[in-house]
Amino acid sequence: MIDFYFSGLSYPRTPMHDLVELARRAGFVLHVSINEPMRYAHQIVKYIDLIPDFWRIVRSNHPTVGIEEMLSGRYHMVFRRVE
């Protein structure tokens, strides 16, 4: 599992806006984006207050991530080719 994380699609982490920009440069435009709610958000949110400098740690590891991406479930993105 650790090998997959560091050599798979999850690492390095690509924020949604970067994915949209990569697709745009390849001739695609975002057509639909669906954000599923995270099942365990209520459990994760408590760490924001418990861990000192939580946001500084997040920003040092993922400088472009937003809270909406951090606390979201799955994103479903559909692109269409620009003609």
Percent of the chain with pLDDT over 70: 84
Looking at residue 40, its pLDDT comes to 80
Query: Minimal CA–CA distance to 67: which of 36, 39, 45?
Result: 45
Domains of the chain, residue spans: 15-81
Task: Specify the pTM.
Answer: 0.60
Looking at residue 10, its pLDDT comes to 59
Q: How far is CA 39 from CA 5, 8, 20, 44, 71, in A?
A: 21, 23, 25, 10, 10
User: Which residues of the chain fall below pLDDT 70?
Assistant: 1-13
